[in-house]
């Protein structure tokens, strides 16, 4: 088919064309599947945590401390990323790194003692970070090759994989398949798809870093990192606190406690799957500013809500607002003048790690001193500050990416 951008085409038809062109472009789809791989594994792992806690006799506190090993591994990966990707072709890393991740998750969920569990957690964080660098960097290269945006759709694949894994875990538990066998089944399926796509993955022969160290970031780069921190903070807080908020503040019945997070996740997935075309038409600066403001309005609705539907609508708006921000930031970090893709990604992702790790804890601390509703007010302020940071950032522009007429027929399955 030919992808044609025209102001006379109805927006929903253009969005459909965008998603279709993603799925029929084999080299892009192969990399996009890797994004889904991460969330498929992670979703299976989340469902397995209660069983691991019981089997290895963890208390809440000791399990919480143990889980910090994964972000510690990610930080190690960040520090070593420039060395790794100055020596290894990005396609070779993607091919091997995601297969290693599958093996690690099998061992992690089936750990028979704590030292094995701790080792797997650390290595999982390490490989997850480096896998993220390789896949996001490759998407950036593919966008330049095809003169198309794919980053948001790839992140949409991550959101979609998380939804699939959550439903799949529930189904497998219902038919009495334990988590240890679930991860074997999921990992084996993932490995088969990755191996079947090896030609497309290994064709990415780029060395994505050519220097030895990470530079001190400029104020502008720190601004992008701050926006990433706020977005990940919002995602982490909704994931960890939305059900508790629905129960303790909104007094929702047990059957709908997850509706806030469900609405957020659905909005996030739909937004990301259609985000590439929206970014192309609107411009990345406007997307980040508008997304931050919409997220702020969403959190405001959650805080002031007196009835459950208003609170759920607020969470949906947060999902809509946050959906396209991270893909824009990752693309921007890969195109900073004088900074390699790996350096830019590492600098920006550091902010995301800080937000994702500290955000939920900070909400809990403020809630303990005041109440949960007031603690969520912090997220309104942070989202507004992110909008200001985006408005002032020179690496975010409203220049639209030129979309070339490209024939995809020869790449159909």
The alpha carbon of 299 is separated from its chain's Cα centroid by a whole number of angstroms, namely: 20
Under DSSP, is residue 379 helix (H, G, I), strand (E, B) or coil? helix
Question: Which tens digits make up the pLDDT trace of 95-150?
Answer: 999 999 999 999 999 999 999 999 999 999 899 989 988 998 899 888 888 888 88
Distance CA 207, CA 88 (A): 6
Question: Which tens digits make up the pLDDT trace of 232-268?
Answer: 889 888 877 887 888 888 998 877 877 888 888 889 8
The answer to whether residue 5 scores a pLDDT higher than 70 is no
Distance CA 2, CA 30 (A): 21
Question: Which among 324, 246, 232 is positioned nearest to 283, based on CA atoms?
Answer: 324
Average pLDDT, the chain: 83
The answer to whether residue 51 scores a pLDDT higher than 90 is no
Question: Which among 263, 355, 281, 278 is positioned nearest to 324, based on CA atoms?
Answer: 278
Question: Do 214-395 and 9-210 fall under one CATH topology?
Answer: yes
Distance CA 264, CA 315 (A): 5
What angle, 0 to 180 degrees and rounded to 10, lies between the N-to-C axes of helices 26-55 and 90-109?
20
CATH, domain range 214-395: 1.20.1250.20
Residue 214 or 230, more confident: 230
Domain boundaries, the chain: 9-210, 214-395
Residue 29 or 280, more confident: 29
Distance CA 125, CA 330 (A): 19
CATH, domain range 9-210: 1.20.1250.20
Distance CA 7, CA 290 (A): 21
Radius of gyration of the chain (CA): 21
């Amino acid at each position: 088919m030919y992808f044609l951008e025209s102001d006379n085409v109805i927006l929903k038809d253009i969005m459909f064309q965008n998603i279709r062109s993603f799925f029929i472009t084999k080299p892009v789809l192969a990399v996009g599947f890797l994004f889904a791989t991460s969330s498929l594994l992670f979703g299976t792992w989340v469902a397995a945590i209660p069983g691991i806690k019981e089997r290895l006799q963890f208390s809440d506190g000791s399990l919480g401390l143990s889980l910090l090993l994964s972000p510690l591994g990610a930080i190690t990966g960040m520090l070593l990323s420039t060395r790794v990707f100055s020596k290894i072709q990005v396609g070779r890393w993607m091919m091997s790194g995601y297969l290693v991740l599958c093996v690690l998750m099998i061992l992690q969920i089936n750990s028979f003692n704590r030292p094995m569990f701790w080792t797997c957690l650390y290595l999982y964080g390490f490989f997850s970070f480096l896998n993220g660098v390789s896949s996001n960097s490759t998407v950036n290269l593919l966008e330049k090759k095809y003169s198309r945006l794919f980053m948001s759709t790839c992140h949409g694949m991550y959101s979609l994989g998380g939804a699939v894994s959550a439903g799949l875990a529930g189904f497998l538990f219902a038919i009495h398949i334990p988590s240890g066998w679930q991860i074997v089944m999921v990992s084996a399926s993932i490995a088969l798809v990755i191996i079947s796509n090896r030609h497309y993955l290994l064709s990415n022969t780029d060395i994505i870093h050519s220097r030895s160290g990470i530079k001190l970031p400029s104020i502008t780069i720190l601004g992008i990192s701050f926006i990433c921190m706020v977005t990940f903070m919002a995602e982490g807080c909704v994931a960890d606190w939305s059900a508790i908020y629905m129960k303790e503040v909104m007094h929702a019945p047990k059957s709908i406690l997850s509706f806030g997070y469900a609405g957020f996740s659905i909005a996030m997935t739909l937004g990301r799957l259609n985000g590439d075309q929206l970014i192309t038409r609107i411009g990345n600066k406007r997307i980040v500013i508008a997304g931050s403001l919409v997220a702020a309005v969403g959190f405001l609705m959650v805080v002031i809500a007196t009835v459950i539907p208003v609170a759920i609508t607020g969470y949906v708006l947060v999902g809509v607002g946050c959906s396209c921000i991270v893909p824009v930031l990752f693309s921007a970090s890969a195109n900073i003048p004088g900074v390699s893709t790996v350096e830019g990604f590492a600098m920006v992702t550091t902010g995301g790690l800080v937000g994702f790790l500290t955000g939920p804890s900070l909400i809990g601390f403020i809630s303990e001193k005041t109440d949960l509703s007031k603690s969520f007010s912090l997220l309104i302020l942070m989202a507004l500050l992110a909008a200001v940071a985006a408005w002032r950032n020179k690496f975010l522009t409203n220049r639209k990416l030129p979309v070339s007429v490209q024939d995809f027929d020869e790449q159909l399955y």
